[in-house]
Amino acid sequence: MSIRAGAMVLIGVVTTGFTGTALAVEETPADVAVTKDLTAVIALHGLPCGNVVSATQQGKDDYVAACDNGNRYRVSVNADGRVIVEKLD
């Protein structure tokens, strides 16, 4: 392998390493989908939120959502299959 080819491989490895680190910090597409879904559910319940900025899964179909306006909500599905949104203090 020539010096030039070796340098190109090294650049590729370093670039891939930095890109992988940046991707680990960003939200995954699944996280983005969950926050968008929770934003829609909260809005459909007529509650003030703006956008959900973070969501923590508490259990199956049970989330705590934090909104950009400071409000927090618990969004869950009850035994009858209905979506329940409760404001947290």
**Averaged pLDDT in 10-residue chunks for the chain of 89 residues:** 45 42 56 92 95 94 96 96 95
pLDDT computed for residue 26 by the predictor: 55
pLDDT computed for residue 31 by the predictor: 80
Distance of CA 10 to the CA centre of its chain: 33
The pair of three-digit structure tokens given for residue 27, joined into one six-digit string: 């939200």
Distance of CA 28 to the CA centre of its chain: 6
Give the DSSP letter of residue 35.
Answer: H
| Single-letter amino acid code for the residue at 4 | R
pTM above 0.85, yes or no: no
